[in-house]
Amino acid sequence: MITSGSLWPGFQIGVGFHGTNRKLYGLVGRFEFGGWRWERSSFGEFVRRVECSRVSVMMSMNEKKTKNKMTMMKKVVVETESVSGGVDVWDADARSERESFPEHLVIMVNGLGGSANDWKYAAEQFINKFPNKVIVHRSERNYSRLTFDGVDLMGERLAEEVLSVINRRKGVRKISFVAHSLGGLIARYAIGRLYDPENVKDFGNAKSDIDEKPQGTVAGLEPINFITVATPHLGSRGNKQLPFLCGLPFLERSVSQTAHLFVGRTGRHLFLTDDDDGKPPLLLRMAGNHDELKFRSALGSFKRRAAYANTNFDSMVGWRTSSIRRQHELPEPQLHVKDEKYPHIVYVDRGNTQIIEKEPSPDARIQTDHLEEEMIRGLAQIPWERVDVSFRKSNQRYVAHTTIQVKSYWLNSDGADVVVHMIDNFVV
């Protein structure tokens, strides 16, 4: 028997024992390089030989590995540029071949206290899938404590940022948004500011989802996808809409009255306690068209809207508010499906079927207040694709709010299939 250890690649030393009596019989040394091998046996003999057949096989295997590696490398070569307010990401090879940027701009927006890094993983996956078709901008105009400034102010900043990106990246013709948590509300406000119903362009005779007239533009571009991930569309004031409060009424009332002390104007907007100049709460106004800002029409101009929602273990955003549903409209567990490709996607409502109306239970009536009902009615006037996600069996379930977007791959890697689902259903 020989026990050996490697000091560095290609060189080994070992200690040999004889038979079962474990008697030490000598040292064995071996040096191997490019098919030439020198060995020192226990008798001090030197053997020099060439292993042509092995070298030939190894070279053939290495050639295949190198080709596969080069193919894989080609898919993941991305180029980034840090700019004022965010990071642009695109495929380096596609950029050099085309001598121009792809025509589809994807804006990724972070949530409360977040930054452009929150979407780093997902942005790279989008580029890998659509190297010649999309350029991704990871927004950072609203980051860290700036996310406490209120949905309206953050929406204005995002709108300005989008326009600056378009001016910088000439040639883009289409626009999509992918937003996490509070970022979904910021993006909804921004598109209301950027929407121009009068700027009608020929986008293949596309029609708006809320009327029969040709759709307008968002920032002068064709609106394609509007995707939100764990976004509190209905705010956080309803029963169990802020899950870490455990649905306790006295805690929910207390937080509703004091949220602004912790997260500024954003807290007032999330809990619908804002009363600017006697106007209705901002989130209620954003569920329709108000004054010069056509929030609902802007949403309706997109070819596709999708709301990804955690069904459980999301401590920050409840299932109802992130999926824009009433309590009795949430799918029952027995309706959940299993998909090997997307193990954490448990239910998909494509928005092309009518929800079966049923009499809500007394508990459901308590959980849906009149403001929440108004917002649902407003947002439901345009079709939404609702994608329900569950990390119940995942070790990362207690950080489901960030796992659903893969904020950090080492901490949230189980959400990778959700990102794949977004990409596979993305309209380019």
pLDDT digits (tens, 9 = 90+) for 18-59: 444 443 334 444 444 444 444 444 433 333 333 333 333 333
Q: Of the given ranges (93-97, 272-276, 301-305, 424-428), which has the lowest mean pLDDT?
A: 93-97
Strand partners, 46: 40
Cite the DSSP H helix spans in 77-113: 92-98
**Residue 12 binned pLDDT confidence (cut-offs 50, 70, 90):** very low
Give 244-265 pLDDT, tens digit per residue.
Answer: 899 889 899 999 999 999 999 9
The two three-digit tokens of residue 157, written as one number:
């900043």
Angle 124-94-86 (CA atoms, 0-180°, nearest 5)? 45
- Alpha-carbon distance of 274 to 270, in angstroms, equals 9
Torsions phi, psi for 78 (to 5 deg) = -120, 150
Q: Three-state DSSP class for 100?
A: coil
Which tops the pLDDT comparison, 213 or 27?
Answer: 213
| pLDDT at residue 83, rounded to an integer | 74
- Alpha-carbon distance of 409 to 343, in angstroms, equals 17
Average pLDDT on 170-195 reads 97
Q: What is the percentage of the chain residues whose pLDDT exceeds 90?
A: 63
- Ranges for all domains in the chain classified under CATH 3.40.50.1820: 81-424
Residue that the structure tokens 């694709």 belong to:
385
- Alpha-carbon distance of 182 to 423, in angstroms, equals 21
| pLDDT at residue 67, rounded to an integer | 38
What is the DSSP-derived secondary structure letter of residue 267? H
Q: Which CATH class is domain 81-424?
A: alpha beta
**What are the C-alpha distances in Å from 134 to residues 80, 124, 173, 228, 428?**
13, 11, 10, 18, 8
Give Dmax over CA atoms of the chain in angstroms: 98
**Residue 333 binned pLDDT confidence (cut-offs 50, 70, 90):** confident
| pLDDT at residue 369, rounded to an integer | 85
Half-sphere exposure of 38 (CA within 13 A, CB side): 6
- In this structure, are strands 174-180 and 222-229 parallel, antiparallel, or unpaired? parallel
Question: How many other C-beta atoms lie within 10 A of the C-beta of residue 236?
Answer: 24
Average pLDDT on 83-89 reads 81
Q: Which of 162, 141, 165, 167 is nearest to 81 (CA)?
A: 165
Torsions phi, psi for 179 (to 5 deg) = -135, 140
Give 370-407 pLDDT, tens digit per residue.
Answer: 999 999 999 999 999 999 999 999 999 999 999 999 99
- Alpha-carbon distance of 294 to 405, in angstroms, equals 28
**Residue 320 binned pLDDT confidence (cut-offs 50, 70, 90):** very high
> Where does residue 12 rank: exposed (0-12), middle (13-18), buried (19+ CB within 10 A)?
middle
CB–CB of 133/114 below 8 Å? Answer: no
| pLDDT at residue 195, rounded to an integer | 98
Beta strands in 19-91 (DSSP E): 23-33, 36-40, 46-50, 78-83, 86-91
Average pLDDT on 224-232 reads 98
